[in-house]
Chains A and B, each alone.
Chain A
Amino acid sequence: MASSAATKDEKAPAAADQKPEIVTDQKPAAALEEDDEFEDFPVDGTLPTLYTTRPEGDASPQHPTPIPQQSAALLTSDDNLDWAAEDTEAATESQGTQHLWEESWDDDDTSDDFSTQLREELKKVEASKKR
């Protein structure tokens, strides 16, 4: 009993090790990843692979794709998903954040085409009213 339990014990992590390969195979076809999901942050340098789906038109049974269950692992390896504040924008605030947004963008130029057309139209309509 003890020996077979130990075998099982060894097998489970081994199976987990193989999983990323399976996922890698499918990755190029997973168009869903194109920009539109906020992915889980990677752990230990592995790519985030949760919720990858099979490509459209794949006729094979649509059961969930095997994936490493990363978030669950995160519970015991918190260090991996935290990072030092020095890495972030917050630490280098003086260098750039104030240049991220333009607040004063009003345009006083009235020589562009659109302004010229408007001016002519206003003139014309005014003139026709006086007629």
Chain B
Amino acid sequence: MYKPALKIAGLTSGYGDIRVLRGVDLELKPGTIVALIGANGAGKTTLLRTISGLVKADSGFSELYGESIHGLAPHRVVQAGFVQSPEGKQLFADMTILENLMVGAHSKRAYERRNETLEEVYELFPILAERRYQRASTLSGGQQQMVAVGRALMALPKVLALDEPSLGLAPIMVDRLFESIAKIRERNLSILIIEQNVFQVLEMADYGYVLENGQISLSGTGAELLGNSHLRATYLGL
């Protein structure tokens, strides 16, 4: 039977009295890249934090390959296979690159395979192998983003969530990063990617969702969305 990699339905959550998500439905097919776009404050990061268990959901459910991850503590969600690379990288500045990567592999399953996964991450981002004893704070923005992605991969995710990976990067670095992300998909991983870089991410993504005011207002394949007049006017200024 077909089971989506990630399925979310009717998810609502928020902070205190303020509702940020007001019933979000979203689905990720195994091995696909799904883009989530939306304006600032639409609730994209809150959605990731809710799935991760960092923000408590009020209602709705979330499943990973048919297994509920709803209401689990953050470390249980990671163990189940939903791992995020948080917005703004959030590296551990005083730790070396190697240490940062190893932190990702703390669950039992990931820890046992840590050396193999580390080789894979180094293969994906060779520069990280070269600089593995350097403190994370000494890296360029693009390299730091590589560490953040690598750190999430070290947890052996089934679904990898990337929160604005291109934030603050030079255009050439964005291109390279997107190439690497496309390569990650070949490992039979599903990727949920939040981006402001709408044009580029929709070109790469298999499917996309638009989040507006805490609800999905539009969805479709990357090409469909790029052709949509509302989306073109609102997010691309065309």
B partners with A: no
Taking Cβ atoms with an 8 Å cutoff, the residues of A that contact B are none
